[in-house]
Chains A and B, each alone.
Chain A
Amino acid sequence: MSVPFDGLVPATDSDVIAGVPARFVAAPTSTEEASAIVRGAAEHGLTTVVRGAGTKQDWAAPPRTLDLIIDTGRLTGVLEHAAGDLITVVRAGTPLSELADKLAPAGQQLAIDAPIQTSTVGGTVAVNMSGPRRMLYGTVRDLLIGVTVVRPDGVVARAGGKVVKNVAGYDLGKLITGSYGTLGLVTECVFRLHPLPAISAYVSRRFTSVGEAGHAVAAVLGAQVVPTAIEVDAGPDGVVEVCVLLEGVPEGVEARVATVRTLLGGDHPTGSDTAPTWWSAYPWAAGDVGIKLTAALSTVPLLLAAGQAARERHGVPLALRGSAGTGVLYASLPGTTEPATVAAVLDDLRAAATNASGHAVVVTAPSPVRDRLDLWGPVAGLDLMRRVKQQFDPDARFAPGRFVGGI
């Protein structure tokens, strides 16, 4: 097959996004090359999806149509690590794990402990992936201080910069974060870094009731121990494990561990310098149904209870896990669950999340299930979002249909 312009190659059988095969693939090596390719795609009216490590292509809805995959596999590398200024400039195709290895010798980290460390920086930004330590450090939106984007018309735009404190102009980094590749191609990111803590300690306790676990979490939140994370794991067996991460200097952590042990209850809690096996891992495996639930902090126990009720009511092995310290939980169901059952469970969870001032969003699901579901639920400000999309991508060529409201 011939290609419409230089820089593209015909797609192979493996160049498929969420079941939709592409016609062409491009792997630019620089922002300039990426811009030329995107310009070409605009001239030829090609619908385009950006691919990093391909670890989350089954997330959200599949693209409505797909002509071109822009692969960031050659847009890699750490361009700058200014240790004294605690910032790094990194190209979008760089895996998180590789970035972490580059930063560690200086005693620094990008504090995004995302569940999928093989993901690229760009993919992480695109879906705003976060891990347990978001409780202390925030998420991508809080750490991304500068961004270079190739717009759907090929124009290269930068926002933010290389200093943490900067209010000059709109914060496009936040707009791009979590936009699922619908506003353009991210080629470079500038991140704020944090020092690696001297030591880390995990204090865990298992509870047999959601209520007890909720009280324990509230007690830790109300204390002055400044946890880095408070995670909860509620498996299908009804046991709820709470684990608190404390980081800092040895003298400080020791005292805080003692306090948290007391708060979690008597002699039962266990302390360890390693994380439990379930730490920072989604409760689902490839091919399963994954749902993200959010809630106002004090209503996290309501979500846990709703999960338990759904388990009993629908006879499903629903698992819940996530950040009790920030109000973000992830739910999973086996991929083999009947679509109608998944839909019923989602309804229950969404009702609970709405009561908890939050949302239930389907992150991933096998296609027969996905086709039956409203993945996003109600979206406030959707009209403004459509208008933003219209401005950036008037022909709806970037990841069409993948985002909220069919954006």
Chain B
Amino acid sequence: MTTIDALAATLRTVLGDERVISDRQELRTYECDGLAHYKVIPALVVFPHTAAECATAVKACVEAGVPFVARGSGTGLSGGALPRADGVLIVTSQMRQIVEIAPQDERAVVQPGVINLHVTRAASPRGYYYAPDPSSQQICSIGGNVAENSGGAHCLKYGFTTNHVTGVEIVTPDGDLVHLGGRAPDAPGYDLLGAFVGSEGTLGIATEVTVRLVRLPESVRTLLAAFPSTDAAGAATSAIIGAGVVPAAIEMMDALAIEAAEAAVHCDYPQGAGAVLIVELDGPAAEVEAQFVHVERFCRDNGAFEIRIAADDAERALFWKGRKSAFAAVGRISPDYIVQDGVIPRTALPEVLHRIGEIAAERGVRVANVFHAGDGNLHPLVLFDDSVDGEAERAEEVSGAILDLCISHGGSITGEHGVGMDKAKYMPRMYSDDDLDTMQLVRCAFDPRGLSNPGKVFPTPRLCGEVPGRHKGAHPLQEAGLAEVF
């Protein structure tokens, strides 16, 4: 009996036959996450329903020395939930109970498989909502959001997942259940919660999450402004931010992205626009009204040739429809595409967009730009046709060049999608060996065996030296001459 067979037998006794998948055809369903060009068929897939079951599954993996990967809804765009062929995929999507909505504490307690938007749906009758709103919010899970520190259009004003999670119950990579943070703020000790959120499944698996609920705003005003160019739209953005306005969101799409959105969802954006901006303000009515006038003026002063103001929620939804469907919409104008997620200082936007244009032209590749203009998070969509020889390689080149461009402007290789499998190779371009080594000290503290989602985030694993509880000494592999410490 192989290690995996034995592990499957153990897990079946704990979880029951129907919650352990080992059939190769069925396993195929889980071979990739939202980044579909990486595919690996896992050795086993399991579905815990409780934290205790999840802990048991992890413990069984640890005892068998088998790596494990957590997966929520599988919508991630960096291959963070890409399975291991020699490992177990622990899927939390059946842990989808909303444990408590506590508006009086501005908190909700949910299981990791709960869908992001469902938290808001449950809280909104009480006048509250969950602020982080990734574009996939109708299907992505809170557990996945915690792993990736997901953002969204409205994080410009409200912050990211990490600013909205106050507590987690986790299964550590040892298989222990530990609480970090809680319902009250500022738990004593190291902010391990802060380190855990965004650790992409490498520090353990969240089994319960306490999130902040935010009071629904009294007023929301949204405008759609059409500009002749991205430069003009960028100048309007600078004027808005420079005036001290903090909009809930400022989103930009260039001509190619607009073309795709029109083809896909008929969002009816103004004709002939080189760029559109969606600007949304929310908050107390009097505050929003006063600032909205300025925002409108900044757009006009910077060359907006058409400004539409959403009259109601339906019209607002239409403005957003084009933006939120942009990634998928690109499929209408190109058979294949790569989505990037680089970040630049917002003021570098015009320069970087021009350079992206040049890079694309040099390589004969089309790039559509959709981005969070307020915080400089770009989502260049690099278009290609995989059936044409060499196009995929050229697209990959352009994609890498764009990330280099972001780094050279003091930015980041990922603003919200995570590093995962996809961008691990770019980490050394952004951080020194010492920086990465230091991050991995945390990894070694949590997961000295390196079994929790190995191969993600870091291009080169660090040997952790000693497993806690043992005395200092050379790593067994090192002693045996099988590995070097680096």
- Cβ B375 vs Cβ A195 within 8 A: no
Select which of B155, B185, B288, B411 is within 8 A of A161 by beta carbon: B411
How far is B188's CA from A377's CA once the two chains are assembled, in angstroms? 8
Residues from chain B with a CB closer than 8 A to the CB of A171 are 149, 162, 194-195, 197-198
- Cβ B345 vs Cβ A175 within 8 A: no
Interface centre among B185, B246, B434, B439 (most CB of A within 10 A): B185
A165-B160, A171-B197, A390-B468 in contact; A149/B438 too (CB < 8 A)? yes
- 8 Å CB interface, B204-259 against A: 215-218, 238, 241-242, 244-246
Interface string of A158-169 (1 = CB under 8 A from B): 110111111111
Residues from chain A with a CB closer than 8 A to the CB of B50 are none
How far is B151's CA from A45's CA once the two chains are assembled, in angstroms? 44
Residues from chain A with a CB closer than 8 A to the CB of B127 are 222
A157-B434, A298-B104, A388-B190 in contact; A170/B198 too (CB < 8 A)? yes
What distance in Å separates the Cβ of A330 from its nearest Cβ neighbour in chain B?
A: 12
Q: Give the A interface residue count (CB, 8 A).
A: 94
- 8 Å CB interface, A354-407 against B: 356-359, 361, 376-377, 379-385, 387-388, 390-392, 394, 403-405
How far is B180's CA from A223's CA once the two chains are assembled, in angstroms? 30
A157-B437, A175-B442, A256-B286 in contact; A84/B347 too (CB < 8 A)? yes
* Interface assignment of B178: CB less than 8 Å from any CB of chain A: yes
Residues from chain B with a CB closer than 8 A to the CB of A248 are 284, 287
- Cβ A381 vs Cβ B189 within 8 A: yes
* Interface assignment of A297: CB less than 8 Å from any CB of chain B: yes
* Interface assignment of B277: CB less than 8 Å from any CB of chain A: no
Select which of A86, A107, A194, A327 is within 8 A of B184 by beta carbon: A327
Q: How many A-B residue pairs have CB under 8 A?
A: 282
- Cβ A357 vs Cβ B347 within 8 A: no
Interface size class of B (residues with CB under 8 A): 35 or more
* Interface assignment of B9: CB less than 8 Å from any CB of chain A: no
Interface centre among B184, B287, B437 (most CB of A within 10 A): B184
- Cβ A165 vs Cβ B442 within 8 A: no
* Interface assignment of A56: CB less than 8 Å from any CB of chain B: no
How far is B182's CA from A353's CA once the two chains are assembled, in angstroms? 13
Residues from chain A with a CB closer than 8 A to the CB of B372 are 165
How far is B192's CA from A309's CA once the two chains are assembled, in angstroms? 34
* Interface assignment of B187: CB less than 8 Å from any CB of chain A: yes
Interface string of A134-174 (1 = CB under 8 A from B): 00001101100000010100011111011111111111111
How far is B245's CA from A197's CA once the two chains are assembled, in angstroms? 9
* Interface assignment of B21: CB less than 8 Å from any CB of chain A: no
Interface stretch among B52-60, B327-335, B386-394, B413-421? B413-421
Residues from chain A with a CB closer than 8 A to the CB of B242 are 83-84
How far is B243's CA from A86's CA once the two chains are assembled, in angstroms? 12
What distance in Å separates the Cβ of A291 from its nearest Cβ neighbour in chain B?
A: 12
A224-B215, A392-B441 in contact; A296/B190 too (CB < 8 A)? no
Q: Which residue of A lies closest to B443 (CB)?
A: A170
* Interface assignment of A48: CB less than 8 Å from any CB of chain B: no
Interface stretch among B296-304, B361-369, B423-431? B423-431
- 8 Å CB interface, A302-347 against B: 326-328
How far is B189's CA from A183's CA once the two chains are assembled, in angstroms? 12
Residues from chain A with a CB closer than 8 A to the CB of B457 are 169-170
- 8 Å CB interface, A269-307 against B: 292, 294-299
How far is B216's CA from A98's CA once the two chains are assembled, in angstroms? 37
Residues from chain A with a CB closer than 8 A to the CB of B438 are 149, 151, 155, 157, 159, 172
* Interface assignment of B283: CB less than 8 Å from any CB of chain A: yes
A249-B287, A296-B183, A358-B184 in contact; A175/B437 too (CB < 8 A)? no
- Cβ A385 vs Cβ B190 within 8 A: yes
Residues from chain B with a CB closer than 8 A to the CB of A356 are 184
* Interface assignment of A237: CB less than 8 Å from any CB of chain B: no
What distance in Å separates the Cβ of B71 from its nearest Cβ neighbour in chain A?
A: 18
- Cβ A224 vs Cβ B444 within 8 A: no
How far is B193's CA from A177's CA once the two chains are assembled, in angstroms? 12
A169-B457, A175-B192 in contact; A224/B419 too (CB < 8 A)? no
* Interface assignment of B357: CB less than 8 Å from any CB of chain A: no
Select which of A167, A197, A377, A385 is within 8 A of B414 by beta carbon: A167
How far is B70's CA from A218's CA once the two chains are assembled, in angstroms? 39
- Cβ A157 vs Cβ B284 within 8 A: no
What distance in Å separates the Cβ of B51 from its nearest Cβ neighbour in chain A?
A: 15
- Cβ B415 vs Cβ A174 within 8 A: no
- Cβ A382 vs Cβ B435 within 8 A: no
* Interface assignment of A198: CB less than 8 Å from any CB of chain B: yes
Residues from chain A with a CB closer than 8 A to the CB of B244 are 107, 195-198
Q: Which residue of A lies closest to B106 (CB)?
A: A297
Interface centre among A170, A172, A251, A326 (most CB of B within 10 A): A170
- 8 Å CB interface, B117-166 against A: 127, 148-149, 151, 155, 159-160, 162-163
* Interface assignment of A221: CB less than 8 Å from any CB of chain B: yes
Interface string of A170-189 (1 = CB under 8 A from B): 11111101110001000000
Interface centre among B241, B284, B346 (most CB of A within 10 A): B284
Residues from chain A with a CB closer than 8 A to the CB of B443 are 170
* Interface assignment of B18: CB less than 8 Å from any CB of chain A: no
How far is B374's CA from A195's CA once the two chains are assembled, in angstroms? 14
* Interface assignment of A32: CB less than 8 Å from any CB of chain B: no
Residues from chain B with a CB closer than 8 A to the CB of A328 are 185-186
Select which of B162, B347, B415, B445 is within 8 A of A384 by beta carbon: B445
What distance in Å separates the Cβ of B213 from its nearest Cβ neighbour in chain A?
A: 10
Q: Which residue of A lies closest to B238 (CB)?
A: A84
* Interface assignment of A1: CB less than 8 Å from any CB of chain B: no
- Cβ B188 vs Cβ A128 within 8 A: no
Interface string of A234-265 (1 = CB under 8 A from B): 00000000000000111111111000000000
How far is B346's CA from A84's CA once the two chains are assembled, in angstroms? 8
Residues from chain A with a CB closer than 8 A to the CB of B376 are 85, 163, 165
Residues from chain B with a CB closer than 8 A to the CB of A391 are 441-442, 444-445, 464
Q: A157-B437, A195-B244, A195-B245 known; 11 other A-B pairs, CB under 8 Å?
A: A139-B185, A169-B435, A170-B198, A175-B442, A226-B215, A251-B286, A255-B284, A381-B180, A387-B445, A388-B192, A390-B445
Cβ-closest 9 pairs across A and B: A174-B194, A252-B287, A195-B244, A358-B184, A157-B438, A255-B286, A224-B218, A298-B104, A166-B412
Q: Can you list 14 A-B pairs with a CB-CB distance of less than 8 A? A: A163-B343, A165-B155, A168-B412, A170-B439, A172-B442, A174-B191, A224-B284, A251-B290, A252-B286, A252-B291, A327-B185, A359-B184, A380-B178, A380-B187
